Amino acid sequence: MEKKIRILIAKPGLDGHDRGAKVMARAFRDAGMEVIYTGLRQTPSQIASVAMQEDVDVVGLSILSGAHLGLTEKVMRSLEEIGEKKPIIVGGVIPKEDIERLKALGVAAVFPSGTPMDRAVEFVRQHLSEE
């Protein structure tokens, strides 16, 4: 039996809108992945802790607040501090000019609002099969 991909969907910061995160969680679940959803208003260290405790394969951040650069960097730092090396994907309201900046930080992929859900699902499958 093939091991299911485990993905953490997290809402860092003070953003209180999680419909997109829930839609993506469902898309990943419907694609046969195990999904762990943190809920709203998580700190970077909380997200890193859940990623470690749940032994996830990938961390997905949903950010609508405009604080995507700072929050992503803090989550990545928190993961590094506890010795976790996980691919990170970011989705939400991401201006085009910030996509390359996120990738320069080490983000595996960025999915701005309006990206077809199956594109994110396929990316995760393909990215993890290459590791």
Q: Is the pLDDT of residue 64 over 70?
A: yes
Does the pTM surpass 0.75? The reply is yes
Distance CA 7, CA 21 (A): 12
| Domains identified in the chain and CATH numbers | 6-130 (3.40.50.280)
Taking the alpha carbons of 24, 11, 91, 110 in that order, is the dihedral positive or negative?
negative
Per-residue pLDDT reduced to its tens digit, 5-40: 999 999 999 888 899 999 999 999 999 999 999 999
User: What secondary structure letter does DSSP report for 42?
Assistant: B
